[in-house]
Amino acid sequence: MHNYVRLIGIDVGKKRVGIAQTDLLKTIASTVGTFSPEEAITEIKKITDKETVEKFVVGWPLSLKGEEGSATQMVQEFINKLRQAFPNIEIAKVDERYTSNQARDIMIKTGIPKKKRQQKGRVDQIAAAIILQNYLDTNT
């Protein structure tokens, strides 16, 4: 029997955290949902209770010039909470510049109506899937 493992992609925002996960073969990222920062840890725990999770892939919000700022500090605090809650799961930081724009482009191309595109939570979970898919495409 195979021991399949998943990766979890995380897009951390001030108010919402988008979560995505890979399929069991680690080829495709799909959205899980959008949660408050507190709920996100609980939701990730639900996934890790059911599945073996190899790694968290967290969007690292650099400025357009590639510099760290207040957003990276906020994400680092979330990463610290992840480390406390899941000490045995590796964490990878991935440059997330442009992922929100990519998420909006995907929603337009797939025909999601403007009203639904304006729901920020939808952008967050698609951004989490993009972060995870970019990681898969460059690291597997």
Q: What is the pLDDT along the chain (140 residues), one digit of tens a residue?
A: 345 679 999 999 888 999 999 988 888 899 999 999 989 999 999 999 998 999 999 999 887 788 888 889 999 999 999 999 999 999 999 988 767 777 777 777 877 777 765 666 677 888 898 889 989 988 86
Confidence (pTM):
0.84
In one-letter notation, the amino acid at residue 111 is: G
Cβ neighbourhood burial of 49 (10 Å; 0-12, 13-18, 19+): exposed
Residue 58's CB is within 10 A of a number of other CB atoms, namely 26
Q: Are strands 90-95 and 53-60 parallel, antiparallel or unpaired?
A: parallel
